[in-house]
Structure 1
Amino acid sequence: MNLPQRNKIKPFFVNSIPKSGTHLIRPLLEGIPPLQHHAFIYPGKLDQISEHQLILSKMTNNHFSNGHFYYSKEYETMLNNLNLKQIFLYRDPRDIVVSYAYFFMKLENTPTYHFFVKNNMDFKQRCLALINGIDSLNRVNIDLWYRLFIDWKNKNNIPPITFETLIESSQSQKKC
Protein backbone atom coordinates (compact mmCIF):
# COMPACT_ATOMS: atom_id res chain seq x y z
CA MET A 1 0.00 0.00 0.00
CA ASN A 2 1.49 3.32 -1.05
CA LEU A 3 0.77 6.18 1.29
CA PRO A 4 0.24 9.65 -0.10
CA GLN A 5 3.39 11.77 0.16
CA ARG A 6 1.91 13.88 2.98
CA ASN A 7 1.63 10.77 5.20
CA LYS A 8 5.30 9.88 4.89
CA ILE A 9 7.28 10.85 7.97
CA LYS A 10 11.05 10.70 7.75
CA PRO A 11 12.63 8.37 10.30
CA PHE A 12 13.80 9.97 13.54
CA PHE A 13 15.35 9.15 16.91
CA VAL A 14 13.93 9.86 20.36
CA ASN A 15 16.80 10.15 22.81
CA SER A 16 16.14 10.26 26.53
CA ILE A 17 17.82 10.18 29.87
CA PRO A 18 16.75 6.91 31.54
CA LYS A 19 13.72 7.29 33.85
CA SER A 20 12.62 10.42 31.96
CA GLY A 21 9.51 9.06 30.27
CA THR A 22 11.06 6.73 27.71
CA HIS A 23 8.15 4.31 28.00
CA LEU A 24 5.60 7.12 28.06
CA ILE A 25 6.62 8.79 24.80
CA ARG A 26 6.77 5.60 22.71
CA PRO A 27 3.02 4.80 22.87
CA LEU A 28 2.24 8.47 22.31
CA LEU A 29 4.22 8.40 19.07
CA GLU A 30 2.83 5.00 18.04
CA GLY A 31 -0.63 6.55 18.36
CA ILE A 32 0.17 8.82 15.42
CA PRO A 33 -0.70 7.05 12.19
CA PRO A 34 1.38 5.87 10.40
CA LEU A 35 4.32 5.90 12.89
CA GLN A 36 5.84 2.59 13.94
CA HIS A 37 8.59 1.79 16.40
CA HIS A 38 11.78 0.36 14.90
CA ALA A 39 14.22 -0.32 17.77
CA PHE A 40 15.14 0.54 21.35
CA ILE A 41 18.87 1.22 21.73
CA TYR A 42 20.65 1.24 25.08
CA PRO A 43 23.16 2.23 26.23
CA GLY A 44 24.66 4.71 23.82
CA LYS A 45 28.34 4.26 24.54
CA LEU A 46 31.04 5.00 22.00
CA ASP A 47 32.14 1.37 21.68
CA GLN A 48 28.66 0.61 20.28
CA ILE A 49 28.39 3.42 17.76
CA SER A 50 28.90 1.27 14.63
CA GLU A 51 26.29 -1.23 15.82
CA HIS A 52 23.84 1.60 16.54
CA GLN A 53 24.56 3.23 13.20
CA LEU A 54 23.69 -0.03 11.43
CA ILE A 55 20.38 -0.36 13.33
CA LEU A 56 19.38 3.24 12.68
CA SER A 57 20.43 3.14 9.02
CA LYS A 58 17.80 0.45 8.39
CA MET A 59 14.91 2.68 9.41
CA THR A 60 12.51 3.66 6.67
CA ASN A 61 9.84 6.33 6.43
CA ASN A 62 7.20 6.24 9.19
CA HIS A 63 9.59 4.64 11.69
CA PHE A 64 11.30 5.92 14.79
CA SER A 65 13.75 4.44 17.23
CA ASN A 66 14.39 5.44 20.78
CA GLY A 67 17.03 4.93 23.40
CA HIS A 68 19.60 6.49 25.67
CA PHE A 69 22.64 7.97 23.94
CA TYR A 70 25.21 9.72 26.06
CA TYR A 71 26.13 12.99 24.42
CA SER A 72 29.26 12.87 22.32
CA LYS A 73 30.42 14.60 19.18
CA GLU A 74 30.68 11.13 17.60
CA TYR A 75 27.01 10.30 18.22
CA GLU A 76 25.97 13.77 17.10
CA THR A 77 27.92 13.30 13.86
CA MET A 78 26.53 9.80 13.34
CA LEU A 79 22.91 11.01 13.67
CA ASN A 80 23.63 13.96 11.36
CA ASN A 81 25.28 11.68 8.77
CA LEU A 82 22.19 9.46 8.83
CA ASN A 83 20.09 12.62 8.37
CA LEU A 84 18.04 11.67 11.43
CA LYS A 85 16.17 14.30 13.34
CA GLN A 86 16.17 13.82 17.07
CA ILE A 87 13.90 14.62 19.99
CA PHE A 88 15.52 14.81 23.43
CA LEU A 89 13.50 13.85 26.49
CA TYR A 90 14.80 14.67 29.96
CA ARG A 91 13.59 15.01 33.54
CA ASP A 92 14.46 16.76 36.77
CA PRO A 93 17.36 14.68 38.21
CA ARG A 94 15.71 14.62 41.64
CA ASP A 95 12.73 12.81 40.13
CA ILE A 96 15.04 10.43 38.30
CA VAL A 97 16.60 9.46 41.64
CA VAL A 98 13.18 8.81 43.17
CA SER A 99 12.12 6.76 40.16
CA TYR A 100 15.31 4.70 40.25
CA ALA A 101 14.97 4.11 44.01
CA TYR A 102 11.66 2.35 43.33
CA PHE A 103 12.62 0.84 39.97
CA PHE A 104 15.69 -1.06 41.18
CA MET A 105 13.63 -2.77 43.89
CA LYS A 106 11.70 -4.49 41.08
CA LEU A 107 14.87 -5.77 39.39
CA GLU A 108 15.96 -8.67 41.57
CA ASN A 109 18.63 -9.81 39.12
CA THR A 110 20.62 -6.56 39.23
CA PRO A 111 23.66 -5.69 41.34
CA THR A 112 21.92 -2.49 42.48
CA TYR A 113 18.96 -4.44 43.88
CA HIS A 114 21.31 -6.79 45.74
CA PHE A 115 23.32 -3.85 47.09
CA PHE A 116 20.16 -2.22 48.45
CA VAL A 117 18.88 -5.46 50.00
CA LYS A 118 22.26 -6.54 51.42
CA ASN A 119 22.59 -3.16 53.11
CA ASN A 120 18.96 -3.20 54.26
CA MET A 121 18.39 0.24 52.74
CA ASP A 122 15.11 2.04 53.11
CA PHE A 123 13.79 4.44 50.47
CA LYS A 124 15.69 7.47 51.78
CA GLN A 125 18.97 5.52 51.97
CA ARG A 126 18.50 4.23 48.42
CA CYS A 127 17.95 7.79 47.20
CA LEU A 128 21.07 9.00 49.00
CA ALA A 129 23.11 6.14 47.51
CA LEU A 130 21.92 7.05 44.02
CA ILE A 131 22.60 10.74 44.60
CA ASN A 132 26.12 10.11 45.90
CA GLY A 133 27.01 7.17 43.67
CA ILE A 134 27.86 3.59 44.60
CA ASP A 135 31.58 3.03 44.22
CA SER A 136 31.42 -0.76 44.64
CA LEU A 137 29.05 -0.91 41.65
CA ASN A 138 30.94 1.68 39.57
CA ARG A 139 27.79 3.80 39.66
CA VAL A 140 28.69 7.49 39.49
CA ASN A 141 26.75 10.13 41.36
CA ILE A 142 23.59 11.49 39.77
CA ASP A 143 25.22 14.78 38.80
CA LEU A 144 28.03 13.17 36.79
CA TRP A 145 25.67 10.63 35.24
CA TYR A 146 23.10 13.29 34.25
CA ARG A 147 25.84 15.37 32.62
CA LEU A 148 26.62 12.45 30.29
CA PHE A 149 23.29 13.15 28.53
CA ILE A 150 22.21 16.74 29.12
CA ASP A 151 24.36 18.40 26.45
CA TRP A 152 21.82 17.16 23.89
CA LYS A 153 19.37 19.68 25.35
CA ASN A 154 21.11 22.74 23.90
CA LYS A 155 21.95 21.43 20.45
CA ASN A 156 20.47 23.19 17.43
CA ASN A 157 17.51 21.50 15.76
CA ILE A 158 16.93 19.07 18.63
CA PRO A 159 13.71 19.93 20.42
CA PRO A 160 14.00 19.24 24.16
CA ILE A 161 10.91 17.90 25.91
CA THR A 162 10.63 17.49 29.66
CA PHE A 163 8.92 14.57 31.33
CA GLU A 164 7.08 17.15 33.42
CA THR A 165 5.60 18.70 30.26
CA LEU A 166 4.35 15.30 29.07
CA ILE A 167 2.71 14.61 32.42
CA GLU A 168 1.23 18.11 32.57
CA SER A 169 -0.32 17.60 29.14
CA SER A 170 -1.84 14.24 30.11
CA GLN A 171 -3.19 15.68 33.38
CA SER A 172 -4.77 18.59 31.48
CA GLN A 173 -6.57 16.08 29.27
CA LYS A 174 -8.07 14.37 32.34
CA LYS A 175 -9.64 17.66 33.46
CA CYS A 176 -11.50 18.11 30.16
Structure 2
Amino acid sequence: MKAKNSLDKYRYYFSKRIEIFFHSLKKSQIKGRKHGPKVILNSLPKSGTHLLESLFLQLPLMRHCGKKTLRLETQNPIEPKLRVLSSIKKGQFLLAHMQYHEKALKTINTNNTKIIHLVRDPRDVLLSHLNYIEKMDITQKSHRFITSYDSRFEKLKAIIEGKKDVLEPFDEVLDKFLPWTQSDEVLCIKFENLIGPNGGGDKHKQEEAVKSICNHISIELNQDQLENVCNKIYSVKSSTFNKGKIGNWRSTLSEEEKKWLNKTIENQITKYGYK
Protein backbone atom coordinates (compact mmCIF):
# COMPACT_ATOMS: atom_id res chain seq x y z
CA MET A 1 0.00 0.00 0.00
CA LYS A 2 1.69 3.17 -1.22
CA ALA A 3 0.02 5.99 0.69
CA LYS A 4 0.72 9.63 -0.08
CA ASN A 5 -2.24 10.80 2.01
CA SER A 6 -5.15 9.58 4.14
CA LEU A 7 -7.40 9.22 1.08
CA ASP A 8 -5.06 6.57 -0.36
CA LYS A 9 -5.40 4.58 2.86
CA TYR A 10 -9.20 4.81 2.87
CA ARG A 11 -9.36 3.62 -0.73
CA TYR A 12 -7.16 0.65 0.03
CA TYR A 13 -9.09 -0.40 3.15
CA PHE A 14 -12.45 0.04 1.37
CA SER A 15 -11.42 -2.21 -1.54
CA LYS A 16 -10.03 -4.77 0.87
CA ARG A 17 -13.26 -4.87 2.90
CA ILE A 18 -15.22 -5.60 -0.28
CA GLU A 19 -12.83 -8.44 -1.15
CA ILE A 20 -13.12 -9.86 2.38
CA PHE A 21 -16.93 -9.65 2.28
CA PHE A 22 -17.30 -11.67 -0.92
CA HIS A 23 -14.75 -14.25 0.23
CA SER A 24 -16.80 -14.79 3.41
CA LEU A 25 -19.84 -15.77 1.31
CA LYS A 26 -18.20 -18.87 -0.16
CA LYS A 27 -19.70 -22.22 0.81
CA SER A 28 -16.73 -23.44 2.88
CA GLN A 29 -16.42 -20.11 4.69
CA ILE A 30 -20.12 -20.19 5.62
CA LYS A 31 -19.60 -23.70 6.99
CA GLY A 32 -16.68 -22.35 9.02
CA ARG A 33 -19.07 -20.15 11.03
CA LYS A 34 -20.10 -23.31 12.90
CA HIS A 35 -17.10 -25.58 12.59
CA GLY A 36 -14.05 -23.40 11.94
CA PRO A 37 -11.28 -22.52 14.43
CA LYS A 38 -10.56 -19.06 15.82
CA VAL A 39 -7.05 -17.97 14.81
CA ILE A 40 -4.70 -15.04 15.38
CA LEU A 41 -1.88 -14.51 12.88
CA ASN A 42 0.77 -12.54 14.72
CA SER A 43 4.14 -11.15 13.69
CA LEU A 44 6.59 -8.34 14.09
CA PRO A 45 5.75 -5.75 11.40
CA LYS A 46 7.47 -6.43 8.06
CA SER A 47 7.95 -10.12 8.87
CA GLY A 48 5.54 -11.39 6.25
CA THR A 49 2.11 -11.10 7.84
CA HIS A 50 0.49 -10.95 4.41
CA LEU A 51 2.13 -14.26 3.54
CA LEU A 52 0.12 -15.84 6.36
CA GLU A 53 -2.98 -13.94 5.28
CA SER A 54 -2.56 -15.26 1.74
CA LEU A 55 -2.33 -18.80 3.10
CA PHE A 56 -5.44 -18.46 5.27
CA LEU A 57 -7.50 -17.05 2.41
CA GLN A 58 -6.83 -20.37 0.63
CA LEU A 59 -7.78 -22.61 3.56
CA PRO A 60 -11.22 -24.21 3.96
CA LEU A 61 -13.51 -22.88 6.72
CA MET A 62 -11.42 -19.73 7.28
CA ARG A 63 -12.38 -16.11 6.61
CA HIS A 64 -10.92 -12.73 7.52
CA CYS A 65 -12.60 -11.19 10.58
CA GLY A 66 -12.87 -7.85 8.75
CA LYS A 67 -10.91 -5.83 11.30
CA LYS A 68 -7.72 -3.88 10.66
CA THR A 69 -4.44 -5.42 11.75
CA LEU A 70 -4.37 -5.28 15.55
CA ARG A 71 -1.39 -3.43 17.00
CA LEU A 72 -0.54 -4.04 20.63
CA GLU A 73 2.36 -2.10 22.15
CA THR A 74 3.12 -2.83 25.78
CA GLN A 75 3.62 0.83 26.68
CA ASN A 76 0.02 1.65 25.69
CA PRO A 77 -3.33 0.71 27.34
CA ILE A 78 -4.09 -2.92 26.55
CA GLU A 79 -7.78 -3.27 27.53
CA PRO A 80 -9.24 -2.15 24.15
CA LYS A 81 -7.00 -4.70 22.44
CA LEU A 82 -8.21 -7.48 24.72
CA ARG A 83 -11.80 -6.77 23.68
CA VAL A 84 -10.81 -7.22 20.03
CA LEU A 85 -9.08 -10.52 20.84
CA SER A 86 -12.25 -11.72 22.57
CA SER A 87 -14.46 -10.80 19.61
CA ILE A 88 -13.05 -13.35 17.15
CA LYS A 89 -15.72 -15.82 16.00
CA LYS A 90 -15.50 -19.40 14.71
CA GLY A 91 -13.90 -19.63 11.29
CA GLN A 92 -12.31 -16.18 11.57
CA PHE A 93 -8.67 -15.10 11.58
CA LEU A 94 -7.25 -11.80 12.79
CA LEU A 95 -3.98 -10.25 11.66
CA ALA A 96 -1.93 -8.79 14.50
CA HIS A 97 1.32 -7.09 15.42
CA MET A 98 1.22 -7.80 19.15
CA GLN A 99 4.16 -7.33 21.44
CA TYR A 100 4.06 -10.06 24.06
CA HIS A 101 1.74 -9.49 27.02
CA GLU A 102 0.57 -12.11 29.51
CA LYS A 103 -2.96 -10.70 29.54
CA ALA A 104 -3.15 -11.02 25.77
CA LEU A 105 -2.11 -14.67 25.88
CA LYS A 106 -4.58 -15.36 28.70
CA THR A 107 -7.42 -13.75 26.73
CA ILE A 108 -6.49 -15.74 23.63
CA ASN A 109 -6.53 -19.02 25.57
CA THR A 110 -9.78 -18.16 27.39
CA ASN A 111 -11.46 -17.46 24.06
CA ASN A 112 -10.36 -20.87 22.69
CA THR A 113 -8.28 -19.16 20.02
CA LYS A 114 -5.19 -20.54 18.30
CA ILE A 115 -2.19 -18.27 17.73
CA ILE A 116 0.43 -18.57 15.03
CA HIS A 117 3.49 -16.36 15.28
CA LEU A 118 5.58 -15.70 12.17
CA VAL A 119 9.28 -14.82 12.51
CA ARG A 120 11.78 -13.62 9.92
CA ASP A 121 15.50 -12.89 9.87
CA PRO A 122 15.75 -9.56 11.78
CA ARG A 123 18.17 -8.19 9.17
CA ASP A 124 15.61 -8.66 6.39
CA VAL A 125 12.91 -7.24 8.66
CA LEU A 126 15.02 -4.11 9.18
CA LEU A 127 15.52 -3.58 5.44
CA SER A 128 11.83 -4.15 4.74
CA HIS A 129 10.95 -1.72 7.52
CA LEU A 130 13.21 0.94 6.01
CA ASN A 131 11.64 0.47 2.58
CA TYR A 132 8.13 0.80 4.02
CA ILE A 133 8.90 3.94 6.02
CA GLU A 134 10.85 5.58 3.23
CA LYS A 135 8.77 4.68 0.16
CA MET A 136 5.45 3.04 0.98
CA ASP A 137 3.68 5.08 3.67
CA ILE A 138 4.87 8.66 3.65
CA THR A 139 2.01 9.86 5.88
CA GLN A 140 3.59 8.75 9.16
CA LYS A 141 5.92 10.70 11.48
CA SER A 142 8.68 8.14 11.09
CA HIS A 143 8.87 8.94 7.35
CA ARG A 144 9.86 12.53 8.05
CA PHE A 145 12.31 11.36 10.71
CA ILE A 146 14.06 8.75 8.56
CA THR A 147 14.19 10.80 5.35
CA SER A 148 15.96 13.59 7.21
CA TYR A 149 19.08 11.42 6.94
CA ASP A 150 21.03 11.26 3.70
CA SER A 151 22.63 7.84 3.50
CA ARG A 152 21.11 4.37 3.92
CA PHE A 153 23.63 3.60 6.66
CA GLU A 154 22.45 6.65 8.65
CA LYS A 155 18.84 5.65 8.14
CA LEU A 156 19.47 2.11 9.37
CA LYS A 157 21.21 3.46 12.45
CA ALA A 158 18.27 5.80 13.08
CA ILE A 159 15.80 2.88 13.01
CA ILE A 160 17.98 0.90 15.41
CA GLU A 161 18.30 3.85 17.81
CA GLY A 162 14.73 5.11 17.39
CA LYS A 163 13.26 8.40 18.54
CA LYS A 164 10.89 9.05 21.42
CA ASP A 165 7.22 9.37 20.36
CA VAL A 166 8.21 8.70 16.74
CA LEU A 167 9.93 5.34 16.36
CA GLU A 168 10.63 2.66 18.97
CA PRO A 169 14.25 1.35 18.93
CA PHE A 170 14.40 -1.71 16.70
CA ASP A 171 16.30 -3.96 19.10
CA GLU A 172 13.79 -3.20 21.88
CA VAL A 173 10.90 -4.11 19.58
CA LEU A 174 12.58 -7.41 18.73
CA ASP A 175 12.92 -8.16 22.45
CA LYS A 176 9.23 -7.37 23.08
CA PHE A 177 8.06 -9.84 20.42
CA LEU A 178 10.52 -12.59 21.36
CA PRO A 179 8.48 -14.26 24.19
CA TRP A 180 5.86 -15.40 21.65
CA THR A 181 8.51 -17.71 20.21
CA GLN A 182 9.13 -19.27 23.62
CA SER A 183 5.55 -20.16 24.54
CA ASP A 184 4.35 -23.77 24.23
CA GLU A 185 0.86 -22.49 23.40
CA VAL A 186 2.04 -20.66 20.29
CA LEU A 187 2.97 -22.21 16.96
CA CYS A 188 6.07 -20.40 15.70
CA ILE A 189 6.70 -20.53 11.93
CA LYS A 190 9.65 -19.12 10.01
CA PHE A 191 8.95 -16.85 7.04
CA GLU A 192 11.82 -18.53 5.23
CA ASN A 193 10.11 -21.93 5.50
CA LEU A 194 6.67 -20.68 4.48
CA ILE A 195 7.55 -18.60 1.45
CA GLY A 196 8.39 -21.53 -0.83
CA PRO A 197 10.38 -21.72 -4.09
CA ASN A 198 8.80 -18.61 -5.65
CA GLY A 199 10.44 -16.54 -2.91
CA GLY A 200 13.73 -18.40 -2.89
CA GLY A 201 12.67 -21.04 -0.34
CA ASP A 202 12.24 -24.80 -0.38
CA LYS A 203 9.07 -26.59 -1.52
CA HIS A 204 9.35 -29.37 1.05
CA LYS A 205 9.87 -26.92 3.93
CA GLN A 206 6.88 -24.91 2.72
CA GLU A 207 4.64 -27.96 2.69
CA GLU A 208 5.82 -28.99 6.14
CA ALA A 209 5.14 -25.46 7.46
CA VAL A 210 1.59 -25.51 6.03
CA LYS A 211 1.00 -28.98 7.49
CA SER A 212 2.13 -27.74 10.92
CA ILE A 213 -0.25 -24.81 10.70
CA CYS A 214 -3.19 -27.00 9.64
CA ASN A 215 -2.47 -29.49 12.43
CA HIS A 216 -2.31 -26.64 14.94
CA ILE A 217 -5.78 -25.37 13.96
CA SER A 218 -7.29 -28.80 13.20
CA ILE A 219 -7.90 -28.32 9.48
CA GLU A 220 -7.33 -31.23 7.12
CA LEU A 221 -5.87 -30.97 3.62
CA ASN A 222 -5.21 -33.85 1.24
CA GLN A 223 -2.01 -33.81 -0.85
CA ASP A 224 -3.65 -32.19 -3.87
CA GLN A 225 -5.17 -29.46 -1.71
CA LEU A 226 -1.82 -28.93 0.04
CA GLU A 227 0.04 -28.45 -3.23
CA ASN A 228 -2.66 -26.14 -4.59
CA VAL A 229 -2.57 -23.97 -1.46
CA CYS A 230 1.22 -23.79 -1.47
CA ASN A 231 1.28 -22.69 -5.12
CA LYS A 232 -0.92 -19.70 -4.29
CA ILE A 233 0.68 -18.43 -1.05
CA TYR A 234 3.39 -16.20 -2.51
CA SER A 235 1.91 -13.09 -4.08
CA VAL A 236 3.40 -9.84 -5.34
CA LYS A 237 -0.12 -8.36 -5.05
CA SER A 238 0.31 -7.85 -1.28
CA SER A 239 -0.27 -4.23 -0.30
CA THR A 240 3.13 -4.00 1.38
CA PHE A 241 5.07 -6.33 -0.94
CA ASN A 242 8.69 -5.36 -1.48
CA LYS A 243 10.97 -8.14 -2.71
CA GLY A 244 9.73 -10.87 -0.41
CA LYS A 245 12.96 -12.80 -0.77
CA ILE A 246 15.07 -14.74 1.70
CA GLY A 247 18.38 -13.22 2.80
CA ASN A 248 17.91 -9.96 0.90
CA TRP A 249 20.24 -8.25 3.39
CA ARG A 250 23.20 -10.26 2.07
CA SER A 251 22.98 -8.82 -1.45
CA THR A 252 21.75 -5.35 -0.48
CA LEU A 253 23.97 -4.21 2.37
CA SER A 254 27.61 -3.20 2.02
CA GLU A 255 30.27 -5.15 3.91
CA GLU A 256 30.56 -2.28 6.39
CA GLU A 257 26.79 -2.25 6.98
CA LYS A 258 26.69 -6.05 7.39
CA LYS A 259 29.49 -6.04 9.94
CA TRP A 260 27.88 -3.21 11.92
CA LEU A 261 24.39 -4.76 11.86
CA ASN A 262 25.53 -8.27 12.81
CA LYS A 263 27.38 -6.84 15.79
CA THR A 264 24.66 -4.39 16.85
CA ILE A 265 21.77 -6.89 17.03
CA GLU A 266 23.82 -10.06 17.45
CA ASN A 267 21.84 -11.22 20.50
CA GLN A 268 18.49 -10.80 18.78
CA ILE A 269 19.68 -12.55 15.59
CA THR A 270 20.79 -15.54 17.66
CA LYS A 271 17.66 -15.67 19.87
CA TYR A 272 15.40 -15.65 16.82
CA GLY A 273 17.27 -18.66 15.44
CA TYR A 274 19.39 -17.03 12.75
CA LYS A 275 23.17 -16.98 12.44
Pick the TM interval, shorter chain.
0.7 to 0.9
Match of 1:24 among 20, 33, 51: 51
- The code of the aligned residue for 2:49 comes to T
- TM-aligned CA distance change 1:130 to 1:76, over 3 Å: same
Moved more, 34-43 or 73-82: 34-43
Match of 2:177 among 141, 145, 149: 149
1:59 deviation in Å?
2.3
Partners of 1:12 and 1:170 lie apart in 2 by: 26
- TM-aligned CA distance change 1:135 to 1:59, over 3 Å: closer
Post-superposition, which runs of at least 4 consecutive aligned residues in structure 1 deviate over 6 A?
none
TM-score, length-normalised on structure 1?
0.83
TM-score, length-normalised on structure 2?
0.56
1:136 deviation in Å?
5.1
Partners of 1:60 and 1:140 lie apart in 2 by: 32
Q: Deviations over 1:111-147 (max 9, x none)?
A: 221122233x23232122212x123555343221101
- The code of the aligned residue for 1:32 comes to L
1:55 deviation in Å?
2.4
Moved more, 140-149 or 93-102: 140-149
Structure ranking higher in strand proportion: 1
1:58 paired residue number: 87
Counterpart mapping for 1:14-93 below 5 A:
14-38=41-65, 39-46=67-74, 47-93=76-122
Secondary structure class of the residue paired with 2:189: strand
How much is the aligned-residue C-alpha RMSD, in angstroms? 2.5
Between the two structures, name the one with larger relative contact order (CA 8 Å, sep ≥ 6): 1
- The code of the aligned residue for 1:156 comes to D
- The code of the aligned residue for 1:45 comes to E
- TM-aligned CA distance change 1:4 to 1:95, over 3 Å: closer
1:79 deviation in Å?
1.1
Match of 1:108 among 134, 138, 147: 138
**Where does the alignment leave 5 or more consecutive residues of structure 1 unmatched?**
none
